[in-house]
Structures are given as structure tokens and as C-alpha cells.
A and B are shown apart, each in its own frame.
Chain A
């Protein structure tokens, strides 16, 4: 028994091991549910109402497709950043994190352009309401993710993290990947399904 308890144990959060990682997993579960309910509401309208509830013109891919690619690429940068700190490469980590944040900001700016180009407003129809609410929620999450990436990037520059101690980077990164994955479901729902039925 003594040998079970008297063995060397890491002190404090170490790599992904630590309570905060599981806390972020719970956060992702609850935020993921939020988006599931938003999409449920979209599909509820879609099934209950005639197809004329959507604008006549299907959503266009001109901006939205490249913007989606930008967001997905940002995840690659963040992943590279996390990999760099695991190898003790502080500069590489900062580069990955800040690049991810920068691409996230570009995504948000393009989204604002996309919003401005729409011929409807949140108040013009249920479609406008659910479109702006869902994409607005997503942009709020991207913004939260950008802030998180900037914070962990700055902390990294301050020399807080190394090969073993980087739970905050791991947490921000997994949250960022989640925000990107959610966008795929939103993009599929709002931009692709209108072409399918």
C-alpha cells in the first residue's frame, strides 16, 4: 500500500494532466450543446415552414468558403504552436498562437463583410433572426478564442511555459479547435443544406 502512495508524482498541472483540461472539456460539452440547440431551431423552422422562409437567393460561397478555409488553417497554426511548446520551442509556440489569433481576426472581419452584404436584418424574418443569432454566437466564441490565444501567447512570451508546464496553451488550443469544428456544422447548415433540399 505504501508503495502505491509513496511514488513520485508530478506537482501541479503538467502537460494536459490537471483539472483544468477536464474543466475545458466540460465547457466544450456545454457550449457544443448551445450550438446544437441553435441548429435545432434552424432545422425546426426549416421543417415546419415552406421553403420560402429562406431568402430566395441561396447563401453564396464567394466569401464564406475562403473564410471557412482561413478558420480551419488557423487551427493548424494553433496545433503547431502547441506542438512547439511540447518540444520546448517557445518562439515557435508564440508564432503558432499569434498566427492562429490573427487568422481568427481575419475570419471575424470577413464575417462582418458577409453580414453587411446580406439583404435582410435580424428583424426582417425568422431566417434573419436565426442566421444573425447563430453566426453572432459563433463570432462571439471566435472572439473569446482570439482573446484566449492572445493571452496564452503573451504569457508564453513572458516565459511562463515550457516543455511540461503549458496546460493553459493546451486548454486554449482545444477550445480553439472546438470553435472551428462548430463553424463546420454551422456552415453546413446555413450554406450547404439549402442546395440539398
Chain B
């Protein structure tokens, strides 16, 4: 029966305690330092992502609070102009790169295999690698900050101010090399998400049955594959120009400063969508659970996610309307920036209809998810306004744009993220967060946020420019800024309440059980926290809502999680076909492995060598990286990569 001699027919078994024990033996992370550095468990890596990204959120938040003290009144002198430049640049770098995407990667890493009915990601060791590089590149850039050499030209880093004659310190070198390093992490992570989506879904989970959250992360990951090289290249060009006298951007030698802006925003605008689409997906999956019904318009919301990203590739010039580009270009990009409202509006209508036609249960998670709709609309409208060229010419480089970006990024990233924490914390830890403290948490954040950022629209309309470190009295901006600062501090207290709630609930929270919200997707079918192997047998999925099949009339099949293929010869997983998720291969999954950690150390050595011009150190980092890659990729008998390997 085996045509190739490489085939095996999986045994179908019921889940028993003996099987569970056997799987635990196979899949558990090894104890001690080796296990700590070598674990490939997507749940451990996911938690690391979440914790690290949250630490960066706190750092970026403290930077913001210092700025809000500085700006609370006219003529403040808490920090000088040079320090202020570093503050707002570091704040942007931290929030946009080190918090906003990694926090979503944390959710995706933890949840994807559970949502898909899989035992791990497609590339468990690359998963570890993307985390370690994220950590190392974040530390790399923050070493610069600690040395007073943080980025000081905004996160967008325009030339010529970033060029050597105007910026001779190490600031821009830390930022350039750090961003190239960080780009490796994003790329490795994106490859893993794309292939996991394509190949690791449980049998029967065809592409029209996946949770919308996974559509969000998939779309963002494809975008990252296509645009991250752009910013890495731009930063490499900048570094070559600064260190080796290349001429890309300096007008004196025929270089083109606007080329930097194109390269940066061809990356930057798709990136903005990449850091919100997965969060939007979390709302699309989480909100309906508390409305006690499936989301209205699954198909259009999924398509809207993809459409937003595709249109998102064609709007970058709206960051450059004031550059003096030809009016034909302005018209095209203005049109695209306005049309992109359509798919967003589709999602907004779908969520509203879901609440309207559902029976909402008001929990803290629901409040965070539902409030996101309001904030999305406000941020969307201000974005729609500045998509119009004449309006943009009036408002660009004012606080109006600062208000817009914060409504978009806090409203559509942080609010869903905190909602996601309330929603999935019981899955992560086995305990529920406290709902009473949760209400305080929500209302403090919601009121603080709007008190802080709604008036920013006004300061922008009153003509207050972005990025100024102080302003004279008599401009009429004083009281607006005072309100903004008070709101900012209130918002920070709200975030602190979340941390308090986490600390308290970790110890004393109500025990959750597998499915405290009576939610429909597969992650709620396993214990909280899930076992190391996720699913003792491979599930067979029959619908979009496996755990609601009994009560949804249109669903006929029954998803099976208690009996199925065991795949227990070693750490094994099942891959499936791309569209229909029919069984395709039995994959041998790697054991814990320290190669990703060592590769990250070697790369850190290399980038440090480049920074300080110790070429032998850079070369050593490169050679060590190659060696660790060779060890990593050496064909393994255990992973059945070698002819004659045991099946």
C-alpha cells in the first residue's frame, strides 16, 4: 500500500490519561538552562513576546509622560531641545517597532496553533529565533538610548538631518543597524506565520473556516515580507552614506533626499496596517463571543482585511503631500487614501451589526473591544480628512496628525490588545482577571485616552506644530496642553491598573476552566493553560465554530477533538493542503534547540562590530552565524530529512 516506502497510516485513538501522559513526555520543554534557552514551545515564546513587548510599552509610556510634563505649560525646561528630540524619537521607535508589532506576534504565536488545532507553528526553531532577535535588537537600540545615543530624528528619520554632517554622533548608527537587525526578526516571524497558515491547519479547517484574527496576522505577515526589505535597505543606504561616503541622499553630490522618504513610507504605511490588522482581527473574533452570536459578515470582514492591506500598499505618498510632488501623483494617492475608508467601514458596520443583533454580555473585554469601534471611527475620520490634499497642507506637521496617529495606534492596537488580554488571560494562566478592577481599568484608560488625545486635534487646528520641545506663552495652547497632559497621566494610571490586575489575578484570580466565556473556537477546547502538546489527537474540524455546533442551526457536521489520529511516535504534527486542509504529510517536529539563541548571539556580535568599526568582530559574528546555521540545517535523521530515517 505504500507507494514510496515512506508512508505510514496514522492510528486513530481516543484521548486517554495514558495518551496525555505520553504526549506530555514527548512535548514538554526540557528543564534547566537548556530548556530556557532552547525551548521551541510556541506558548512559551508567545508569552515571552507579550511580556517583552509590554515592558517596551511601559518604557515608551514613561518617555511620553516626560514629554507631557515638558509640554504641560509654556516655557517648561524639564528637558532641553536635544534631549526632547531623542525622547519623541525613542518613544516612536519603541511604540511602533518594539511594542505594536511584537505584542501582536505574542498573541499570534501563543494562539495560532491552538486556533488551528495544531501542535506548534510550522517552524518552531525559527519561532524562537524571531523572539531572540527581537529581544537582542531592542536591547541593541536601547543601549544606544542609555548612552544618550538614541534616535533623534523621529521614527521616520528623514535626511538630511539624519546625515553625518548634521548628526555626527552614534545616534543614527545605533538606529540604522538596530532597525536592520530588528527587520530580520520581523521577516523570520512573518515567514513562520505565512507557512503556518498555509500548512498547519487541522484537517477540515478550510480557509473559509479560520478565525478572522488569523486572516489579520496572515495579511500583515505577507505585507511584512514585501515591505520590510524596503526599510532595511533604506537604513543600510543611510549607514553606508554616513560611514563610507556613499551618495544616496545628500543633494550636494546629486543624492535625492526625497528617495529616503519614498523608501521609508513605501515600508511605513503598509507597516501601519500590519500593526493594526491583527488587532482588528482580535476584535472580530472576540466581540461576537460576548454578543453570543457569530460575527455578521465573516466573508466580507475577511475580504475587507485583505483589501485594506492591498490598498495600503498604494497610499504612502500621503505622508509626503507637502513635498512639492506633481499634482497627478498627489491626486492618485489622495484618491487611494480616501478609498481605503471603504473596507474599514465594512468592518465597522459588521461589528455594529453584531452587537445590534446579538445579546451583549458586558464584560471588561467586551468594553475594550466595543470601544475600539468608536476610536477607530474617530481615527478613521481624521485620517480621511488628511487624505485630502488641501486639508493635509493645512494640518500636516501639526498636533492634528499626532492626534490621528494616536487614535489609530492606541485605539486600534492597544485597546484590542488589552481586550485580548482580558479575553485570553484565563487561557494563558488558568485564572480570570478581576472584573471589578477591570471596569476601573477600562474607564480610566478610556476617559484618560480621550481626555488626552481629543484636545490634540484642537491644538493642531490652533496651529501647534509637532516635535517642538516647548512653546512661548500667549500662543493660546497652554490650557489645551494642560488638559492633554492630565489625560495622558490618567491614561497611564489606567495601564498601571491593568498591571495591578494581572499581578493580583495571577495569584488570586478565579479559576477559569477550559472555556470560561463559552467561546466557539478550538483554543477553548483544551485545558487552561493548555498542555505542552496542545491536542492529544489531531482534531477534525467541521465548521467555523467548532464548540457552538450544537446550537447553530446551519451547521451539520460535528468537529471531533476527543478521537483522531494520535501521531505519537515522536514529536509529530500533521500538515494539510493549502485551501481545503486535507491531510498532506506527517511532520517530525524539532526538539528544544539552542541554535536560534546562539545564532542571535553571533548576529549581535556582528552588528556590534559594525557599529564600532571593529571589522574582525563583525567578521567573527558573520562566521559564527554561518556555523550555527550549518549546524541548525544539517539534515537530521530524527526529523526524517535523511534517506532511510525511521518513520
- Segment at the B interface, from A28-36, A105-113, A185-193: A28-36
Whether A12 pairs with B254 at a CB distance below 8 angstroms is no
Choose among B247, B583, B587 the residue that contacts A12 (Cβ–Cβ < 8 A): B587
Whether B254 pairs with A126 at a CB distance below 8 angstroms is yes
Give complex CA distance A6, B540 in Å.
12
Give complex CA distance A125, B645 in Å.
56
Would you give the 0/1 interface string for A141-176, flagging 1 where the beta carbon is closer than 8 Å to chain B? 000000100010001000111101101100000000
Whether B229 pairs with A48 at a CB distance below 8 angstroms is no
| B7 adjacent to chain A (CB < 8 Å) | yes
- The binding surface of chain B is classed by DSSP as mixed
Q: Which residues of B contact A160 (CB under 8 A)?
A: 635, 641-643
Give complex CA distance A2, B9 in Å.
11
Give complex CA distance A33, B226 in Å.
6
Whether B540 pairs with A1 at a CB distance below 8 angstroms is yes
Min Cβ gap A18→B in Å is 6
CB contact under 8 A between A23 and B122, given known A8-B8, A9-B583, A12-B6: yes
Q: List 24 A-B contacts (CB under 8 A).
A: A4-B582, A5-B538, A6-B10, A7-B583, A9-B586, A11-B588, A12-B588, A13-B587, A18-B587, A19-B123, A22-B195, A23-B122, A23-B126, A23-B191, A26-B225, A30-B190, A30-B225, A31-B229, A123-B247, A125-B247, A126-B254, A129-B246, A133-B236, A147-B626
Give complex CA distance A38, B263 in Å.
10
| B203 adjacent to chain A (CB < 8 Å) | yes
Q: Which residues of A contact B327 (CB under 8 A)?
A: none
- Name B639's closest neighbour in chain A (CB-CB): A12
CB contact under 8 A between A9 and B585, given known A19-B122, A22-B195, A23-B123: yes
- Name A53's closest neighbour in chain B (CB-CB): B254
Whether B263 pairs with A41 at a CB distance below 8 angstroms is yes
Q: Which residues of B contact A133 (CB under 8 A)?
A: 236-237, 240, 246
Q: Which residues of B contact A151 (CB under 8 A)?
A: 630, 633
Q: Which residues of A contact B588 (CB under 8 A)?
A: 11-12
CB contact under 8 A between A168 and B641, given known A14-B6, A30-B229: yes
| A55 adjacent to chain B (CB < 8 Å) | no
Whether A27 pairs with B191 at a CB distance below 8 angstroms is yes
| B230 adjacent to chain A (CB < 8 Å) | yes
Choose among A10, A34, A41, A45 the residue that contacts B7 (Cβ–Cβ < 8 A): A10
Interface centre among B122, B203, B233, B630 (most CB of A within 10 A): B233
- The binding surface of chain A is classed by DSSP as helix
| A61 adjacent to chain B (CB < 8 Å) | no
Whether A123 pairs with B244 at a CB distance below 8 angstroms is yes
Choose among B1, B187, B248 the residue that contacts A126 (Cβ–Cβ < 8 A): B248
| A58 adjacent to chain B (CB < 8 Å) | no
Whether B203 pairs with A5 at a CB distance below 8 angstroms is yes
Q: Which residues of A contact B259 (CB under 8 A)?
A: 41, 44-45
Min Cβ gap A62→B in Å is 27
Whether B123 pairs with A5 at a CB distance below 8 angstroms is no
Whether A5 pairs with B643 at a CB distance below 8 angstroms is no
Whether B256 pairs with A48 at a CB distance below 8 angstroms is yes
Tell me which residues from 584 to 614 in chain B have a Cβ below 8 Å from any Cβ of chain A: 584-588
Give complex CA distance A159, B637 in Å.
12
- Name B12's closest neighbour in chain A (CB-CB): A6
| B194 adjacent to chain A (CB < 8 Å) | yes
Tell me which residues from 221 to 257 in chain B have a Cβ below 8 Å from any Cβ of chain A: 225-230, 232-233, 236-237, 240-241, 244-248, 253-256
Whether A29 pairs with B225 at a CB distance below 8 angstroms is yes
Residues of chain B at interface, number, CB under 8 A: 75
Give complex CA distance A27, B232 in Å.
15
Q: Which residues of A contact B245 (CB under 8 A)?
A: 122-123
In the complex, besides A6-B565, A12-B585, 12 extra interface pairs with C-beta distance below 8 angstroms are: A11-B588, A12-B647, A19-B575, A22-B195, A30-B190, A34-B229, A37-B233, A41-B248, A129-B240, A160-B635, A167-B641, A168-B641
| Chain B residues packing against A (C-beta within 8 Å) | 1-2, 4-12, 122-123, 126, 187, 190-191, 194-195, 198-199, 203, 225-230, 232-233, 236-237, 240-241, 244-248, 253-256, 258-259, 262-263, 266, 538, 540, 560, 564-565, 574-575, 582-588, 626, 630, 633-635, 639-645, 647
Choose among B9, B203, B236, B575 the residue that contacts A4 (Cβ–Cβ < 8 A): B203
Give complex CA distance A88, B625 in Å.
33
Whether A26 pairs with B191 at a CB distance below 8 angstroms is yes
| Chain A residues packing against B (C-beta within 8 Å) | 1-2, 4-14, 17-19, 22-23, 26-27, 29-31, 33-34, 37-38, 40-41, 44-45, 48-49, 53, 122-123, 125-126, 128-130, 133, 147, 151, 155, 159-162, 164-165, 167-168
Q: Which residues of A contact B647 (CB under 8 A)?
A: 11-12
CB contact under 8 A between A22 and B199, given known A5-B10, A155-B635: yes
Q: Which residues of B contact A14 (CB under 8 A)?
A: 4, 6, 585
Whether A126 pairs with B253 at a CB distance below 8 angstroms is yes
Whether B246 pairs with A122 at a CB distance below 8 angstroms is yes
Whether A161 pairs with B643 at a CB distance below 8 angstroms is yes
Min Cβ gap B285→A in Å is 25
Q: Which residues of B contact A22 (CB under 8 A)?
A: 122, 194-195, 198-199
- Name B187's closest neighbour in chain A (CB-CB): A30
Q: Which residues of B contact A4 (CB under 8 A)?
A: 203, 540, 582-583
Whether B256 pairs with A126 at a CB distance below 8 angstroms is yes
Q: Which residues of A contact B630 (CB under 8 A)?
A: 151
Choose among B194, B203, B266, B574 the residue that contacts A37 (Cβ–Cβ < 8 A): B266
Min Cβ gap A81→B in Å is 16
Whether A18 pairs with B585 at a CB distance below 8 angstroms is yes
Whether A13 pairs with B256 at a CB distance below 8 angstroms is no
Whether A49 pairs with B254 at a CB distance below 8 angstroms is yes
Whether A10 pairs with B4 at a CB distance below 8 angstroms is yes
CB contact under 8 A between A11 and B203, given known A29-B225, A125-B247, A126-B248: no
Whether B6 pairs with A11 at a CB distance below 8 angstroms is yes
Q: Which residues of A contact B12 (CB under 8 A)?
A: 2, 5-6
Q: Which residues of B contact A8 (CB under 8 A)?
A: 1-2, 7-9
- Name B199's closest neighbour in chain A (CB-CB): A19
Give complex CA distance A147, B565 in Å.
40
Min Cβ gap A37→B in Å is 5
Give complex CA distance A4, B583 in Å.
8
Whether A30 pairs with B226 at a CB distance below 8 angstroms is yes
Q: Which residues of A contact B634 (CB under 8 A)?
A: 155
Q: Which residues of A contact B585 (CB under 8 A)?
A: 9-14, 17-18
Whether A10 pairs with B6 at a CB distance below 8 angstroms is yes
Give complex CA distance A157, B199 in Å.
31
Min Cβ gap B386→A in Å is 25
Min Cβ gap A171→B in Å is 10
